[in-house]
Amino acid sequence: MSKETNTINAGIAMIKVLESWGVDHLYGIPGGSINSTMDALLKEKDNIKYIQVRHEEVGAMAAAADAKLTGKIGVAFGSAGPGGTHLLNGLYDAREDHVPVLALVGQFGTSGMNMDTFQEMNENPIYADVAVYNVTVVTAESLPHIIDEAIRRAYANKGVAVVQIPVDLPWKDIPSESWYSSANSHQDFVYEHVDVQQAQSIADILSAAKRPLIYYGIGTRGAGQELEELSNKLKIPLMSTYPAKGILPDRHPHYLGSANRVAHKPANDALAQADVILFVGSNYPFAEVSNAFKNVEKFLQIDLDPSKLGKRHHTDVAMLADAKLALKKITELSSEKEETPWWQANLENIKNWNSYLDKIEHKTDGDLQAYQVYNAINSITNEKTIFSLDVGDVNQLANRHLLLKESNIHFTSNLFASMGVGIPGSIAAKLNYPDRQVFSLSGDGGAAMVMQDLVTQVQYNLPIINVVFSNNQFGFIKDEQEDTNNGYLGTTFNDIDFSKVADSMGMAGFRVDKISDLDLVFKKAKEIAKNEPVLIDVLISGDRPIPVENMKLDPDKFSEEEIDSFKKRYDAEDLIPFSEYLKKYGVNTVNEEIGEGGF
């Protein structure tokens, strides 16, 4: 700011708006049309950190991860044309997971706009679908105001704001009194009302139910104790969506896991038989396509977002409330219930499933499988470890074998399910939580998409443990093709030695292909990652994880030959069909299964 002229550079004012909202870092790659913003970042380098990524997609994915991890807005930028369009994958990830992200997109200077000049185009339509706020700045004076507006809209609508900035505008001076930030006015929404009559209705229906389930989602974060207390009092098994994994400790004796394909056997078993569902803080995206709730007689829902009430199923009681407060009130209004046959059958089924997982995780002979790798990961983590997961089999396997507590953080691309998010997310995690242990977990398919940004971890000295599960295939898609196609096409590829990729970028790299080597290598990696990033490339078998959405265990439905073949393939000799536990405890069944809900 100049005292003589009482002006401020518009670009610097823009960056100061970001700083006022608590933005301390942002991601991007410079280019001609964004260089005025780079100039402002250079002048403000002591107050905001620029993170140079090697692909704008990685920057946008990392910005989305910032928002998922902290609740604070993530910021990424790209230059005009391809720099901006490269952001789209990360922006759509943010949109689908409803987190606030700001994208700054360069544009040719105002004198060349609408003239078909180099990399100049009408950018606004490109971002119209992904953004809740999408504008092109037309004057230098409005630039800081529009950035402030964009941030407020992103927070208010839990989505993406995109601002296109002609390159000449941030270089101009504007009156110093012409701008301000509204950051000091920002407040998070608080809803403390719980309708007692609705809570009593839910308590009464749950108490009278014969086969009830509590089905919770990420809207119950921070309410693990309340979920457990209601489960204990009314003897109701608990299940969750996959993103809600870790709200209760994994292998909890009342936890069925999640349903459908990225799932656990007990959850699919129970969901097909349930008569009453308490659906809380959840937006299960496979509900309609899998007919997940077709056998349910009473559907009860609690959500803080009114747009979610009744979205996935006709609702008998719909409560607009904070999950933690609502669960606490329902528990208070409920009377202690004795153990029921349904409760006992489910607890035995959970125990049997957990024994199966434990067995395959602790195998010491045969080919190296992903299961033993997760056991090695669990052995070096702690209660504060953060896991950034890519998309594919890594989700299915982490869901079953990664052991989390509520104090851990575990995140991925939940609804958009974009491959390549593991490494970018780990960068964001380490920047936001420098004192916590951070992992990126990726398949070789996802890692290959973004492996260039391993060097970003090195460049900014971000001690991250990167684990790549290599089996030269898109395993998740290959398994889909097994079920739906006439053969396989496009699912296998040539090997990449990621340990050498890491080494070429100045990162310690290991390659493991034997179960017996896991313990030593992971212990070494843990020590290295106290000071610098490290990568472990594990060569796992191409074995398909057991398809819990299509189990062949029940002798009433499958032949002895089919059951034997299934058990042999998945090392599942000790798995027991849920029907046996239901019969044991005299639970009447509906003899139904839910659909797979795939493509």
**Token pair recorded at residue 2:** 């100049």
Instruction: Determine whether 54 is exposed, middle or buried from the number of CB atoms within 10 Å of its CB (0-12, 13-18, 19+).
Output: middle
Would you say 569 and 552 are in contact if contact means Cβ atoms under 8 Å apart? no
Closest CA to 449 of 28, 65, 58, 83: 58
Which of these, 501, 507, 508, 497, lies nearest to 452 by C-alpha position?
501
418 phi and psi angles, rounded to 5 deg: -90, 125
- State phi, psi for 463 to the nearest 5 degrees: -70, 100
d(C-alpha 260, C-alpha 547), whole Å = 9
Single-letter amino acid, residue 593: E
* 3-class SS of residue 481: helix
Give the three-state DSSP class for 27.
strand
CA distance 376 to 326: 39
Torsion, CA 84, CA 89, CA 95, CA 97, rounded to 10:
-150
DSSP for 330-393, written as a single string: HHHHPPP----HHHHHHHHHHHHHHHHHHHHHT--SSS--HHHHHHHHHHH--TT-EEEE-SSH
Helix axes 370-380, 341-361, angle to 10 degrees: 90
Please give the angle made by the CA atoms of 377, 253 and 309, to the nearest 5 degrees.
Answer: 95
Instruction: State the helix-helix crossing angle for 56-70 and 88-96, rounded to 10 degrees.
Output: 20
Helix (H) or strand (E) holding 52, with range, is strand 49-52
Q: List active site positions.
A: 56, 118-119, 261, 391, 476-477, 480
Four-CA torsion 271, 277, 278, 281, nearest 10 degrees: 50
216 closest CA partner among 335, 303, 343, 291: 303
> Which tokens sit at 214?
């509590």
Instruction: For residue 119, give the DSSP letter.
Output: T
- 461 phi and psi, to 5 degrees? 50, 60
Write out the DSSP string of 414-427.
-SS--TT-HHHHHH
Q: From CA 354, how far away is CA 29, in angstroms rounded?
A: 46
* Cα(423)–Cα(439) distance, integer angstroms: 9
Q: How far apart are CA 110 and CA 345, in angstroms?
A: 70
DSSP state at residue 558: S
